[in-house]
Amino acid sequence: AQKVTQAQTEISVVEKEDVTLDCVYETRDTTYYLFWYKQPPSGELVFLIRRNSFDEQNEISGRYSWNFQKSTSSFNFTITASQVVDSAVYFCALRRAGSARQLTFGSGTQLTVLP
């Protein structure tokens, strides 16, 4: 069975602070994919990143960075110099390789960035 745990239900920071959102996953598969999605108040899930299980290189995209550590089954997401527009619910998700294509989501972290 697969499981994604986002232990932080809510995080509140002041603008320009850095913030890290934690994601821990469980899977018996050796090949899988990890994702982060953003859900702003409008409700539409916005794709942020996909990471393959065999690629442990960290990635940076502007103010966003992701730290994938297979040894601890974690895929954490850091926002540097947070902005009010970053306020949203962020979901981490896991997908098996092969025929099963659905995403297994965590319960999400509500990030509030205060001005």
Site for another protein in 81-110 (CB under 8 A): 91, 93, 99-108
Residue 111, classified by CB atoms within 10 Å of its CB into exposed (0-12), middle (13-18) or buried (19+), is buried
CB of 68 to another protein, least distance (A): 16
Do 75 and 93 meet the contact criterion of CB atoms below 8 Å apart?
Answer: no
Angstrom distance (rounded) from CA 55 to CA 72 = 15
Q: Return the number of the residue (43 or 115) whose C-beta is nearest another protein.
A: 43
Angstrom distance (rounded) from CA 31 to CA 54 = 7
In the set 47, 56, 69, 83, which binds another protein (CB under 8 A)? 47
Q: Does 51 bind another protein (CB under 8 A)?
A: no
Angstrom distance (rounded) from CA 112 to CA 51 = 25
- Residue 15: what are its φ and ψ, rounded to 5°? -45, 140
The region of 21-29, 37-45, 68-76, 77-85 touching another protein under the rule CB under 8 A is 37-45
In the set 1, 30, 41, 42, which binds another protein (CB under 8 A)? 42
Q: Does 11 bind another protein (CB under 8 A)?
A: no
- Rule CB under 8 A: which residues touch another protein? 4, 35, 37, 42-47, 50, 91, 93, 99-108
